[in-house]
Amino acid sequence: MRALKEHRIVDVPEPEPGEVLVEVRHISANHGELRHPRIGGHDAAGIVLGGPGKGRRVVAFGPGAWAERAVFPASSVAEVPDGLDLAEAAALPMAGLTALRTLRAAGPVLGRRVLVTGASGGVGRLAVQLARLAGAHVIAQARRGAGLRELGADEVVSSLDGVAPVDVVLDLLGGPYLVRAWELLTPGGTVQSIGWASGEPAAFTSLFALGAARSIHSFGDVSEPGPDLAVLVDLAASGLLSPSVGWRGSWERVGEAADALFAGRVSGKIVLDVT
Ligand SMILES: NC(=O)c1ccc[n+]([C@@H]2O[C@H](COP(=O)([O-])OP(=O)(O)OC[C@H]3O[C@@H](n4cnc5c(N)ncnc54)[C@H](OP(=O)(O)O)[C@@H]3O)[C@@H](O)[C@H]2O)c1
């Protein structure tokens, strides 16, 4: 975690036309950013200091977000509605965009069975809630399943053994979970392969399956996030989506937060206060 503890002193950036300068109050740390610190942080919430919307409370997504002041394209920022805490808003960008966009990519889920693996984590808790909001029957897989029913899961399972066939899988674990998820798909069903939090190798032999074609999709498109950020903060402000912050502290404690995440002591999002 040494790389994350290093502070870089840089000039305060100036916004170009079409950009906003944000005084960052809170940031969020995601699994991949803590596992691979070279990726850098993306989630921030704060106050617009320069550019369109000066003085407004905003949430922002983009490289360079982990700073006291950061510049973002205006298309990567959304205003935070009254009633939503900035720290809660900071939890939403990466995890929320991922959950929202993979669920959309899976197609309509009204009345369909949607399985979320790794459901107790940052992306998973948001995915469970969004799938439920979209009318799905939600099966949440997690070894630590506390609180998932309250978020809208219809079934909470610790393993995929015994799960009845599903129409959609949002897979955050990869490896053997991805293989099992594929086997659980109904004809025509789809797996959104999002992450590899299990760290375990996969053992696919073939994707052969009878009946209507099943599909498997990668996810990595976080372009033009502004409109979807607005969707997420609006849902959270209206009480329909809990950002599910599971760990909060000063950004000086990022190493501690990472240790807690990888030791399985965080359920939900990590939010760090820029102190
Ligand atoms: N493609 C993209 O653009 C994108 C975007 C965001 C995230 N991701 C990836 O998606 C994954 C999940 O992200 P996240 O932020 O939700 O992570 P997270 O908060 O760390 O949650 C991951 C969950 O996985 C479970 N888990 C961890 N190790 C496991 C193991 N060995 N076996 C089984 N379950 C295990 C844990 O739940 P239990 O302990 O309760 O089982 C944990 O709550 C990560 O791999 C991340 O890098 C990808």
Confidence of residue 12 (pLDDT cuts 50, 70, 90): confident
Mutate to test the pocket of ligand 1, among 28, 30, 42, 130 (most ligand atoms within 8 A of CB): 30
Q: Which of 64, 80, 160 is nearest to 118 (CA)?
A: 160
Whether 4 shows a pLDDT value over 60: the answer reads no
Q: What was the pLDDT predicted at 6?
A: 58
Question: If you average pLDDT over residues 4-13, what whole number do you get?
Answer: 64
CA of residue 270 to ligand 1 center, whole Å: 13
d(CA 189, CA 191): 7
Model pLDDT for residues 118-176, shown as the tens digit of each residue: 999 999 999 999 999 999 999 999 999 999 999 999 999 999 999 999 999 999 999 99
Which residue's CA is the closest to the ligand 1 atom numbered 41? Answer: 143
Domain boundaries, the chain: 2-91+243-273, 98-218
The answer to whether 20 touches 71, Cβ cutoff 8 Å, is: yes
Query: Which pTM does this prediction carry?
Result: 0.96
The answer to whether 41 touches 26, Cβ cutoff 8 Å, is: no
Q: What was the pLDDT predicted at 95?
A: 98
Spell out the residues 6+ positions from residue 7 whose beta carbon is closer than 8 angstroms to its own.
Answer: none
Which residue's CA is the closest to the ligand 1 atom numbered 22? Answer: 121
CA of residue 212 to ligand 1 center, whole Å: 30
Pocket of ligand 1 (CB under 6 A): 30-32, 94-95, 98, 118, 120-124, 142-144, 172-173, 194-199, 219-220, 261, 264
Which residue's CA is the closest to the ligand 1 atom numbered 32? Answer: 198
Q: Which atom of ligand 1 is nearest to the CA of 141?
A: 41
Choices 3.90.180.10, 3.30.930.10, 3.40.50.1220, 3.90.650.10: CATH for 2-91+243-273: 3.90.180.10
Q: What is the CATH number of domain 98-218?
A: 3.40.50.720
Q: Which atom of ligand 1 is nearest to the CA of 95?
A: 6
Q: What was the pLDDT predicted at 93?
A: 98
Which residue's CA is the closest to the ligand 1 atom numbered 19? Answer: 121
CA of residue 195 to ligand 1 center, whole Å: 7
Question: If you average pLDDT over residues 223-252, what whole number do you get?
Answer: 98
CA of residue 142 to ligand 1 center, whole Å: 10
Question: If you average pLDDT over residues 173-190, what whole number do you get?
Answer: 97
Whether 13 shows a pLDDT value over 80: the answer reads no
The answer to whether 232 touches 96, Cβ cutoff 8 Å, is: yes
Model pLDDT for residues 71-98, shown as the tens digit of each residue: 999 999 999 999 999 999 999 999 999 9
Which segments of the chain are extended strands (E)?
19-29, 43-50, 57-61, 69-73, 77-79, 113-116, 137-141, 155-157, 166-171, 185-193, 215-218, 245-250, 269-273
CA of residue 121 to ligand 1 center, whole Å: 6
